Every structure is written in structure tokens, then in C-alpha cells.
Amino acid sequence: MTGESKVGKLSDITKIIKDGDKVAVGGAWLGSHPMAIIREIIRSKIKNLTAITVVGSIDIDLLIGAGCLSRLIFSFVSMEAFGLAPNFRRAIEKEGLPHDEMTGLAVIIGLEAGGRNVPFLPYRGPFGSDLVKYRPELYKAMKCPFTGEDVIAAAAIVPDVAIIHATRADHRGSIQIEGTSATDIEMIRAAKRRIVSVEEIVGTEEILKHPEKTKIPGFQVDLVIEAPMGAHPTSNAPHYVFDAWHILKYMEYAATPETFKKYLEDYVMKPEFEYLEAIGGMKQATILRRLAREVKFL
Amino acid sequence: MKHYANDYSVGELMCVTLAREIEDRDVVVLGSFTPLAYASYILAKITHAPNSTLLAYAAVDFKPFQLSFLRAEASATRGAPLMWTMLEDLNSVHLKGRGDVEAISSIQADQYGNINLSVIGDYNKPKLRGPGGAGAPEVIKMHRKMIGYFPSHSKMTFVAKVDFITGTRYLIGPEERIKSGYRPGPIRYITNLCVISKHEKDKPFRIDSLHPGVKVEDVVNNTGFELEVPEQVPETEKPTEEQVRLLREVVDPYGTIAFDFKPGKERLGYLKDILQKELASIGY
């Protein structure tokens, strides 16, 4: 083993994420969200965060419900076929959670601008959308300085911290992603500090067998945490599917603020290994893994 | 000669109508998991559009797969010769206008080609906070065609003016699209009653076809804006017997398409039944 180790424990996240930080949350739809890290943020009572998501679901809904956010930057938050995200809806409709809604493309291009260290990037953006009118600090119509064409500038997004969940890493923080990478890599490039949880930590020789799967180099990573099933109840393709049974339960708990508190007690405010037991342990993990393996092509 | 089916659901009719929008060699993008759109694209791929390229999640040009509520992402990922990031996807397909179809749906849609996935009511104090648009508000401009599907055609959905413009086709007529570097194509909405389309900024949506058994007034009375009604409105082409068989036996044996058409109260029970069937398929 050469070089210093980036490997730490879940509880080490408090050395990197501080109250009031802007946190970019990886994953997309019901896939590969860094859920173990999110549960640890809630356990650690880190508050006043601004979360940034492209396509969020239970990750964002959980952070909102647990009272960790004071602002949300998003293009989409939904539980998809399970319905609208209950805490997200309540927070905006009833409690006036400050939020910046953007188009998905503008979030991605804004993160790319952040990674390139430029204040904005132009593109043929959402002309005619009310979002441009309502959020002039995020979008500006402008003329191309060369041709005079109309373009829209998407403001750079520079998170304090990016949190993502990936497939595997070595001790140096070489990160392999086999499934849906979403905007994880752009978030990592744009952020000042980065935490990556992975399904498994392996020796560097394992990483070298498939270097093409390595998407993030160790110098862009501050902390690596081994968290098997760390995306649960979201998926980690192609290794396990999202846990529809748990999400159905979550939707029942999240129906009211009172019952949602009970969800936090029953599932979140306990060590991560107890969470994995509470959701059905190895038996449930095996079902989710088998479903992801047994697919049928036509 | 085509053998048209007599026994089909409105979901299957919409699915086949959407599949017919896919041409061979089209580049087709799937956003959020919506069974009807997935089934349509996969049906097109295994029938009339074998050279279409399907994109979903990070998966590019994946093999067609049997639809499942739980396994769409795993299937696309396992069947793909290439995986890319969302940024590579944008740079390769969206920004240059290389996409052909990415069917969207919306809480509201209006006569101007605007969609609203943001709020019902005032933006800052909404009655309903919707999910937001993700890619939809922009891809509807960038891709060759703007295709929408709406399982419940009503004045709640088809309004004169949306409460909030999350996104818009923006460039509608062929000339202005070509001038701005985009390929021309219609706005077309497939609903549970009919197919309507818009081709020019200053002309209204026109009824392209009525589903079997639907009358012009059913559509007009359930639409909150003016429609052009041709003198002779054709009937929507029915699914063929083979298309219905493929959907039921090959593409969607778990019946996920029907999910979007179940009334709110029945949805949960229906979903639980699908999950049971999926468990049974792996021996549980």
C-alpha cells in the first residue's frame, strides 16, 4: 500500500461538512443517492445546509424532513411512481423553504462552470421559461460577444462539499462507478471538498484490473467511506435495485410531520448497521441484488 | 395486411401511438421512469425501428429489455455498450439538437407549447408544488419533435395559459427552428382521447385523430383552449393484434403500463401486485 489513506468512518463526515455548507448531493431519480451519508448528516445534526440536486428523490425529502436544510437548489424532486415528495411539498407549500428552481441542464452546466473555475457558461438555454424571469441571479440572457447570437448564461455552482455514492474505491480514493453516474463527476470537480461512500474498498491491484471504470482520481477525494448498501433505499445499478417495499413504507411515514418523526426514530437515529437490520438485513439485500441480476433482454 | 386488434386498453392504444412516433434510426431519450414511454420505445425498437438508439439513466444504445417496475435501470445498464455522464449526454445529444424524441408529460400544458411542472397557483405561495421539470423544459425545444402524453385529457391539464412556464417549445415553425440550428418537427400530444398537434406559432393545435369511440365534442369540451377541427377527423390507427400481443406477452408482462391509468385509490394495490409478481419471477 503506497500513499496516505483517504479511508475513514461515516462519523468522519463532520470533519468535512459544517453547518451552513452548500452540499451537492449525487445520484439521480431513485438511483445511487449517497443515502448512508445523508443519514449520518441527520444523525450528526448538521443544520442550515443548502442542498443542490439535479434529480432528487428520497435523499432530498429526508434532509428536508429532518430539518437539515435552510435552502434548496434543484431541478426536480419527486418520488416518481410513488408520488410527489411529501416533505418537499410541505416545506415549500406551507413553510416557505427558500428554494432556487432551475432546469436540469442549467444545474449540470452550472456545475461544469464551477469545475472549470469560470463564473458562467453560455448555452442555448431555456428562452421563454419563467425560471429565467424569476431567477435573474441564476440565468441571464446575453449576446454572444463574437456573433451577437442570443444565448443564456448559467451561473457557476460551486458547492462547499460534494457527497456521492459509488461502486468501489482503493485507499487512495480512486473511485470506480459502474452504474448511473448522474452528475456525480461534475459535482466532485466543482466542489471544494468531497466525500465518497462506496460499496466496497479494495486493493489497488483490483482497481488496476479495470482502470477504465475509474472515473474520479484520488486527488479529487477527501474522504472515502465503505458503506455496503449505502445507496439504500435507492438503487446502485447494476448491483441492486431500489427498495420499493421500503419506499412504500417511507411514503406512509412521511404522510404527516408527526409520523415522519417516527421514521427518523425507527430508521435513521441509530447506527448504520442497525438501519440495515431494520430494513430487512441480508435477506432483503439479497432480494434487491438478485432482482438487479435477473433481467431479461428481448 | 395488418390485423387490427379489437381488444386493447386505452393505455395500450396510447403506447402504440407513441411507438409509431419513433422512426428507424431515431435517437430516443428516456427521462424519469414512466412505464408507458419505456414500453413504447422498446416496442418500436423490436418492431419497426430496430436501428433506433435508446438512452436511459447512464446507458447508451442498450438492448431492448422486458419492462419491469424495479429493474428498468439495471436492465438498461446491463445491456449497454456505453455508459456516460449526464454532461456527456447533453454534449452529445441535447445541445446540438441530435435527439429526436423524449416524450414528456406535464401537470398543465397550454395552447402556446408551454408546460408547467412547477406549481399550481402563485409561484411563491403555491397551492401545489410540483416536482419541477428536470430535463423536460429544455429538451422540448432541442429535440426534433416535442411529444407529450397525457393519460387524463381534461381542462385541468389543457389550459389556455399555464400558471407557470417551466419550459416551452419556444421555436415552433420550421423556418425559425432551422434558423436557430434546430431540426423542424411538430408539437404532438397523445392523450386518452385523441392526438393533437401544433406546427406554427400562430396557428392553434389541430385534432390529428380521435381514438375509436371518441367524438369531436368530447375533445373540445375537455380542452381549455381553441382547437382546429378539420372537416374530416380520422380515427387513430388501432394497435395491431401483433402489437398488443408483444406488449402483453413480451414487453410488459407485469402490466406496468396500466399503472398510470389506475385511479388514485387503486394505484397502491396495483403496484403491490406488480411487486409480488416480480418477486415470484426470481423464485420468492
CB proximity A131 to B under 8 Å: yes
| Residue at B3 is within a domain | no
pLDDT digits (tens, 9 = 90+) for A226-274: 999 999 999 999 999 999 999 999 999 999 999 999 999 999 999 999 9
What is the dihedral sign for C-alpha A209, A211, A213, A214? positive
Q: How many helices (H) and strands (E) does chain A have?
A: 11, 13
| Residue at B4 is within a domain | no
CB atoms inside a 10 Å sphere around CB A132:
19
Amino acid at B231: E
What is the dihedral sign for C-alpha A185, A187, B77, B14? negative
Dig out the grid coordinates for A123 from the structure.
448555452
**Omega of the bond leading into A238 within 30 degrees of 0 (cis):** yes
With cut-offs at 50, 70 and 90, classify the pLDDT of residue B260: confident
How many residues would you count in chain A? 298
Residue A2 pLDDT greater than 80, yes or no:
no
> Which CATH number, 3.40.1160.10, 3.40.1080.10, 2.60.40.10, 3.40.50.2300, labels domain A7-105+157-293?
3.40.1080.10
A290/B86 Cβ within 8 A: no
With cut-offs at 50, 70 and 90, classify the pLDDT of residue B31: confident
Instruction: State the pairing for strand pair B146-150/B187-191.
Output: parallel
The shortest C-alpha distance from A264 to chain B (Å) reads 23
pLDDT digits (tens, 9 = 90+) for B91-141: 999 998 999 999 999 999 999 999 999 999 999 999 999 999 999 999 999
The shortest C-alpha distance from A60 to chain B (Å) reads 12
Distance CA B31, CA A28 (A): 10
- H/E segment holding residue A249: helix A244-253
Residues of B in contact with A55 (CB under 8 A): 32, 134
pLDDT digits (tens, 9 = 90+) for A72-119: 999 999 999 999 999 999 999 999 999 999 999 999 999 999 999 999
In this prediction the ipTM stands at: 0.96
pLDDT digits (tens, 9 = 90+) for A36-57: 999 999 999 999 999 999 999 9
User: In chain B, where does DSSP find H-type helix?
Assistant: 10-21, 35-46, 72-78, 86-89, 136-142, 174-179, 216-221, 241-245, 264-281
Classify residue A77 as exposed, middle or buried by CB count within 10 Å of its CB (0-12, 13-18, 19+).
Answer: buried
Distance CA B103, CA B3 (A): 27
What stretches of B143-236 adopt beta strand conformation (E)? 146-150, 167-168, 187-191, 194-198, 205-210, 227-228
Long-range CB contacts (within 8 A, 24+) of B244-251? B244/B5, B244/B7, B244/B8, B244/B12, B244/B16, B246/B43, B246/B46, B246/B47, B247/B12, B247/B15, B247/B16, B247/B39, B247/B43, B250/A298, B250/B46, B250/B66, B251/A298, B251/B39, B251/B42, B251/B43, B251/B46, B251/B64, B251/B66, B251/B67
Q: Which residues pair with A224 in a beta bridge?
A: A7, A196
Dig out the grid coordinates for B124 from the structure.
411563491
Q: Is A151 helix (H, G, I), strand (E, B) or coil?
A: strand
B126/A92 Cβ within 8 A: yes
Distance CA B71, CA A239 (A): 11
Q: Which of A60, A72, A95, A124 to mutate to test the interface with B (most CBs of B within 10 A)?
A: A124
Q: Which of B96, B138, B282 to mutate to test the interface with A (most CBs of A within 10 A)?
A: B138
Residue B1 pLDDT greater than 80, yes or no:
no
What is the dihedral sign for C-alpha A49, A187, B62, B144? positive
Dig out the grid coordinates for B147 from the structure.
411529444
Distance CA B149, CA B190 (A): 5
With cut-offs at 50, 70 and 90, classify the pLDDT of residue A1: low
First to last CA, chain B: 43
User: What values do phi and psi take at B99, rounded to 5?
Assistant: -80, 150
Residues of B in contact with A181 (CB under 8 A): 58, 83-86
pLDDT digits (tens, 9 = 90+) for A142-190: 999 999 999 999 999 999 999 999 999 999 999 999 999 999 999 999 9
Distance CA A281, CA A279 (A): 6
CB proximity B95 to A under 8 Å: yes
Residue A218 pLDDT greater than 80, yes or no:
yes
Q: At what angle do helices B35-46 and B10-21 cross, to 10 degrees?
A: 60
> A245, A251, A287, A239: which is closest to B274 by C-alpha?
A245
DSSP-derived letter for residue B91 is I
Domain of residue B140: give its range: 10-281
A126/B167 Cβ within 8 A: yes
Q: Is B75 helix (H, G, I), strand (E, B) or coil?
A: helix
With cut-offs at 50, 70 and 90, classify the pLDDT of residue B33: confident
Strands in B187-191's sheet, in edge-to-edge order, are B146-150, B187-191, B194-198, B205-210, B227-228
Distance CA A228, CA A70 (A): 30
Q: Which residue of B has its CA nearest to A240?
A: B74
B142/A124 Cβ within 8 A: yes
Task: Give the mean model confidence (pLDDT) for residues B169-188.
Answer: 96
- CATH classification of the domain holding B216: 3.40.1080.10
Domain positions in chain A are 7-105+157-293, 120-155
The shortest C-alpha distance from B86 to chain A (Å) reads 5
What is the dihedral sign for C-alpha B237, B242, B245, B247? negative
| Residue at B2 is within a domain | no
The count of structural domains within chain B is: 1
User: Nearest CB to A238: which of B77, B164, B250?
Assistant: B77
User: Nearest CB to B165: which of A128, A287, A295?
Assistant: A128
Tell me the whole-structure pTM to 2 decimals: 0.97
Dig out the grid coordinates for A19 from the structure.
453547518
